[in-house]
Structure 1
Amino acid sequence: MQPPDKGDVQLLIQVGFLAAGRGDVAAALRIFEALAVLRPEQAFAFVGLGSALMNAGRAGEAVQRLQAVSLPPGAEADMLDSFKALALQLAGRHSESRSLLRQLVLRAGSVARSPGARLAARLLGEASDKPPIPAGAAPWRPAPRAVPFS
């Protein structure tokens, strides 16, 4: 038997999210757990798994499951971290969520942010295409108008 191709994987992702949306968490979890075995280096299966649990009101469990995943630094890890932060928020762990989001946005910088870093910026209420504002930075104020010489 051949492993699923890209089209098969995309179909399974859609079916997993449909199951989660209909409240069939058990089916969604089975699908996303299988996808995690097939593509362990990609975030989509873990995002789906976390989303299914969060949709079912099981944010604490989503936090545990997502924190157990470690992806190499890059776009996939950024997306995973954004969903970890969302799960933390829904689990009532607000300061941990904001801290993780800030770390992600600061780590990403302002050049070529990944989709996960842009999501993190939006979750923080920042424009995702602007450089992050460091915590404790003074607000911008316009320079005083120059008085012309007489």
Structure 2
Amino acid sequence: MTVEEQMGRITPYIARETIVSAVINGAIGALFFFIIFGSADHIAVGEWHYAVDFLPQSAAVALMACLVPGLIARRAQLTGRLGIRSGSPATIQWLLRAAFLSILSALMLGAAIAFLWLVSDVATLHWRHALGIKIIYGAALGAWVTWRVLRRMVGGAPLI
């Protein structure tokens, strides 16, 4: 099988897992939004409210978007359903290191977003807008983390 054929088979796998991660992280973000902020008409942005919630959301999304798809891909590699890129399946230590770096990067992004909200002139957001932003952010971050992890784990490996 040529490299082009292998990449053609692995790309849909990565795309599918990335989309699943985006949907799940967006849905979990919506659930936690209602748990934390309830159904108030307007959500306070400043101080320890909406803006700062980007920090724990970022960490949680990065952790789940890295570990869950990574462990699924590793299991598929170990059982022979998914090819291996570099001669051996990703180790648990590699996945934990990837999770740590993903969380660290996501926390920096979350802190930057929180800072921008805190220095903005926005005092409150209508709950629909606040929820929409949280869903889109969680989905986009989850997709980005999953895509990066899976590209490093299985990019170029054949689907078996």
Question: Does the pair score TM above 0.5?
Answer: no
State the TM-score bracket (shorter-chain normalisation). Answer: under 0.3
| TM-score normalised per structure 2 | 0.23
- Structure having the higher helix fraction is 2
Greater relative contact order (Cα 8 A, min sep 6): structure 1 or 2?
A: 2
| TM-score normalised per structure 1 | 0.24
Structure having the higher Rg: 1
